[in-house]
Amino acid sequence: MSWRAPGRVNIIGEHIDYLGGTVLPFACGLEIRCEVQPLPDEIILVSDAETDEVRLPLDVADVPRPEGWARHIWGVARALGDVHGVRGRVTSTIPPGAGLSSSTALEVVVALALTDGVPPAPEVLQRAEQDATGVPCGVMDQATLLRARAGHALLLDCATGESTDIPIAESIGFVVIDTGTRRELSDGRYAQRRAEVERGDLPRQRHAETEQGRVFDAVEALRDEDVARLGAILLASHASLRDDFDVSSPALDAAVDLAMVCGASGGRLVGAGFAGCVVAVVDAAQETEVVRAVRQRGLHAWAVHPVDAAGPVRD
Ligand code: GLA
């Protein structure tokens, strides 16, 4: 049996999920797959991207947190409690540490493999990620990967868990640009920003408040198929993440500038920040041209389209 979980591109609503804010992500075509056969009493996984094999008992309650990628599998088995044994292989097209939710995709796909496809509640996998990495993440990535629908963004209220599917018109395109820089969220900076905004630090709070307004503005711009307005909203989000929340980097700022030079309407760092990728909004008719122009200037870029949430591989 083979399972897949997509990556996540957040259109807007960054660093507000853990404050109970409303966010607007979608699931993108990059994905992690996990192909498994049943085993009676063990979890054995290998990955194309890792040298070490993961080997865990079904009950990990007394197993200390392992190092490396095994910690994600351990976190999932621990959070789920009741899992099947499997032997399997993991393959991925999601660059790790790049703001596209590769660790949550791994956790979601493994959760499906260990339960024969019973989707857990997003909060259960949020706990798995927090236990595995020590990063006090919100619930956006888990909810996106478990609920998103093709052709739609997920307007997710992180306070209530309620969500609405927002159609993304064919005229609106999204391009991800990879700076090639990488980060580990367990380095403490994510936790530090979260603590600062929760303590009431003024610039951090200003970001959270203005970002929330921009999410609802972006929903309107999507509804009106107004690429120029959506672009301006994304640029304002990037400025706020850079100046008020302090999670950008020179490489991310440069990639947003590059997106503009190459014909995007706007762009912003995507995910937690510090390194990784930016998402740019483009007129869909220009998508290929923008991707080509960015690549010509030396950065990797590709168009992303909203796909369905995690589930069985159907091809
Ligand atoms: C990471 C976390 C999310 C969210 C984003 C920033 O992806 O896992 O919960 O906080 O950063 O918006």
Sorting pLDDT into bands at 50, 70 and 90, what band is 185? confident
Residues labelled catalytic: 141
pLDDT (0 to 100) of residue 67:
95
| pLDDT higher than threshold 90 for residue 63 | yes
Atom of ligand 1 nearest to the CA of 8: 7
pLDDT (0 to 100) of residue 75:
98
| pLDDT higher than threshold 90 for residue 315 | no
Sorting pLDDT into bands at 50, 70 and 90, what band is 80? very high
Is the beta carbon of 141 within 6 A of some atom in ligand 1?
yes
End-to-end CA distance of the chain: 12
Atom of ligand 1 nearest to the CA of 18: 10
| pLDDT higher than threshold 90 for residue 262 | yes
| pLDDT higher than threshold 90 for residue 184 | no
The residue whose CA is least distant from atom 9 of ligand 1 is: 138
240/64 Cα distance (integer angstroms): 39
The H or E element that residue 213 is part of is helix 202-223
Mean per-residue pLDDT over the chain, rounded: 97
| pLDDT higher than threshold 90 for residue 166 | yes
Averaged pLDDT, 243-264 = 98
Sorting pLDDT into bands at 50, 70 and 90, what band is 121? very high
Q: Taking the model in full, what pTM does it have? A: 0.97
Percent of the chain with pLDDT over 90: 98
- What are the pLDDT digits (tens) for 39-60? 999 999 999 999 999 999 999 9
Q: What are phi and psi for residue 92, nearest 5 degrees? A: -140, 145
DSSP string, 108-169: HHHHHHHHTS-PPPHHHHHHHHHHHH-----SHHHHHHHH--TTEEEEEETTT--EEEEE--
